[in-house]
Structure 1
Amino acid sequence: MPLAGHLRELRNRLLKATAAIVVATVVAGLFYKQLINFVITPLPGCITADGGGTPPSGRCGLITTTGLLSPFTLALKVSLTAGLIGASPVWLYQLWAFLAPGLHRREKRYGLAFLATGIPLFLAGAALAYATLPTTARVLISFTPDRATSILPVDDFLDLATRMVAVFGLSFELPLLLIMLNLAGILSARRMTSWWRHMIIGVTVFSAIATPSSDPLTMLILAGPITSLYLAACGASLINDRRRARKGTTTLSPDEPSPLPTLHEPDHLR
C-alpha cells in the first residue's frame, strides 16, 4: 500500500476510534453522578448516612465544588475517563486492525497473546488499586490532628484514584514484558533469575516513587504482587528455555560469540 493509502487507513481508524469514545463519553455523562459515587465510596468516614458532608468523627469532610465551573469540570472528567475505558474494545481493535496487516503470522500470534494476557493483568492491577483505596485513604486521613478536619475535594481524590489505577495496572504488565523478551530469545531465564536481588530492590524503590499516596502500606501492597509476578515470569521463562533446549533451538548468551562456519579450502589451493 502506498503512503497515501496508509494515511487514509490511519484517518479512518482514528475517526472510528474517536466516534466510539465520544459515544461512550456521552452515555457515561448520563450516569456521571452514579460513577462519582462509585469512585468516592472508598473514602472512609467522609460521607454520613444521609449523604451530608459533615462526618460523625469530624476527621474528614468531603466537598464537591470549589467554584462555579467545578461541577461541570468534574462531570466532564469522570465521563471522559469512563468513555475511554468503555470504548477501549473499539479503539484497541482499530489499533490492532491498523497494525496487523504489516505483521507476520508469528508476530500476530504474539500480539494476540500479549493482548489476551495483558488486559486481564491490567484489570487485576486496577482492581487491586481500587481495593487498596480505602486503606490508603484511612492511613492518610489518620495524620489529621484531633482538633482539625481534612477537607477533601472530590476531583483531587478522583485524580489520586486514577493515578493509582494506572500505576497498579501498568506495573502488573512487567512479567508479561519479561516473558515476551524470553520468547523472542532476547532474555534468558538464567539471566533473569540472576537479577533477583536487583529486581526486588528496584521494585521496592519503584513502588515507593510510583504510588501517589507515598505511604509505606500502599508501597508494600504494590511491591508484593509485582515481586510475585516477577518470580512467576522467571518460572515460565525457565520452562520455555528447557523446552527450547530439548528442541535444540537454544539461543546464545549475549556475551557468547557465535561460532563461525568452517571453510574448507579446495584441494588445488592446499
Structure 2
Amino acid sequence: MDPKELDLIGHIEELRTAVIRILVWLAVGTAIAWSVRSQLMSWLEYPAIEGARRGGLEDFSFHIFEPAGGILLMMQIALLGGTVLMFGFIVWELWRFVRHALSARERRYVYIVLPVSVLLFASGVSFCYIVTPAAFGFLIRFNVELGVEAQFILSSYLRFFMRLLLMFGLAFQTPLVLWFLAHLELVSSARLWATWRWAIVIIMLIAAIVTPTPDPFNMMLLAGPMMVLYFLSLGLVEMVERARSKRRRSEVSVMASPLQSPAALQAARTEAETDQHPDLEAEHVRLERLYAETGGMLPVEPQDDAGETGGEQP
C-alpha cells in the first residue's frame, strides 16, 4: 500500500480514537451533571428569582406546559452541564490530535492563547451571572407597574439566560481576537483609534441584536463591558506593535553591525594582508597616485620577457 495511504489511515484512526474518548468524557460529565440536577437548576433559576424579588414579586415560580417538558429540559441541561464540566478534557483530546501538525512556535502560542481564552470566557459568564438579576428586576418591575402579572415559562427563560451567558463569554474574547489580529498585522492601533466611534456604533448594534429584550438597560449591560474591552484591546495592540518595532530595530542593528558588514569585512581582510606584507601598502599608495595623475587610466607596462607569458602567440 502507498505510504501516503498508510499515513491517511493512521490519521483517521487517531481521529476515531479522539472522538471515542470525547464521547466517553461527555457521558461521564453528563452523568455527574444529572446527579446534581437539582443544584444545577437552582443555580440557573437564581437570577430570575432574585430579579423577581428586586422587582417586588415575592411569590414567583416558573411554568411548564408540556407533560415531558421537565425531563427533556433536564436532559438538555445535564448534557450542557457535562460539556462545561468536561471541557478541559475535551480540549485535551483535541489537542492530542492536532499538536503533531503544529510547529514549536504554533504550539507555544496555543499554550498562551488557550488558558487566556478560557479565563476570559469564564469572566464574561461570571459577569453576566452577576448583573442578570438587576436586568430581570428592571423588567419585572416594569411589568408590575403596567399591572401585568409576570409568568415565565421555564424553557423560554433558560434559552434566554443561556444565550446571554454565551454572548457575554464571547464578547469577553475581544482583547484576545484583536491581539491575534495585531500579531498578523491585520489591525493597527492607529486604525482602531481612528475608527473608535464606528466601533461603538457597531457594539451598540450587536448588543441590540443579541439582547433578547429591546430595553436600553439590558442592551447597555452587554454594550458597556464590550466598550471597556475594546479600549483595553487598543492597549494590547499598542503593546504588540511596540514589541514588533523593537524586535525589527534589533534585527536591523544586527544586520548593519560593523562586524557583519561586507565592506567592513573586506577592509579588515585588506588590513590584515598589509600587516603581513608591508610592501603592499606602498604599492597601493603608488597605484592610487598614478590613477589620479592619469585621470583614471592606468598605463599598461610592456613586458620585456616574452617567456614570462608563455612565449609568443602564433
1:86 is displaced (CA, Å) by 0.3
Match of 2:31 in 1: 26
Question: Given the superposition, is the C-alpha separation of residues 184 and 44 from structure 1 closer, same or farther in structure 2, using an over 3 Å criterion?
Answer: same
- How does 1:60-209 map onto structure 2 within 5 Å? 61-144=60-143, 147-209=147-209
Q: What does residue 247 of structure 1 align with?
A: 247
What residue is the counterpart of 1:260 in the other structure? none
| 1:44–1:138 CA contact under 8 A, matched in 2 | no
Identity %: 26
Decide whether aligned partners of structure 1 residues 121 and 72 sit closer, same or farther in structure 2, where only a CA change above 3 A counts.
Answer: same
Instruction: Give the number of aligned pairs.
Output: 244
Normalising by structure 1, what TM-score?
Answer: 0.82
C-alpha distance in 2, partners of 1:147/1:162?
28
Dislocated runs of 4+, deviation >3 Å: 44-48, 56-61, 145-148
- Flag the 1:20–1:249 CA change in 2: closer, same or farther, 3 A: farther
Residues 40-88 of structure 1: per-residue CA shift (max 9 Å, x gap): 111246889xxxxxxx956874234322201211211221111110010
- Paired residues of 1:61 and 1:149 also in contact (CA < 8 A): no
Higher share of residues assigned helix? 2
Whether the aligned pair in 1 keeps the contact of 2:49 and 2:60 (CA below 8 Å) is: no
* TM norm structure 2: 0.72
Cα separation, 1, equivalents of 2:20 and 2:80: 19
* Deviation of the 1:161 alpha carbon: 1.1
Alpha-carbon separation, structure 2, partners of 1:133 and 1:57: 16
Higher gyration radius (CA): 2
Aligned-pair distance for 1:34? Answer: 1.3
Deviations 1:226-253 (A, max 9, x none): 1111111111211221222122269xxx
- Residue 18 of structure 1 aligns with an amino acid whose one-letter code is L
Instruction: Give the gaps of 5 or more residues in structure 1.
Output: 49-55, 251-270
1:183 and 1:248 map into 2 onto residues whose CA distance is 14
Kindly report the root-mean-square deviation, in angstroms, between the aligned alpha carbons of the 2 structures. 2.4
Give distance in 1, aligned partners of 2:111 and 2:213: 34
* d(CA) in 2 for partners of 1:186, 1:136: 37
Distance 1:232 1:57, change over 3 A: closer
Q: Distance in 1 between matches of 2:73 and 2:119?
A: 28
Separation in structure 2 between the aligned mates of residue 222 and residue 163 of structure 1, nearest angstrom: 12
What is the one-letter code of the residue matched to 1:34?
Answer: Q
Equivalent pair of 2:33/2:82 in contact (CA under 8 Å): yes
CA distance in 2, matches of 1:44, 1:171: 25
Larger RCO (CA within 8 A; separation ≥ 6): 1
Q: In structure 2, how many angstroms separate the alpha carbons of the residues matched to 1:45 and 1:97?
A: 43
Q: Which amino acid aligns with 1:246?
A: K
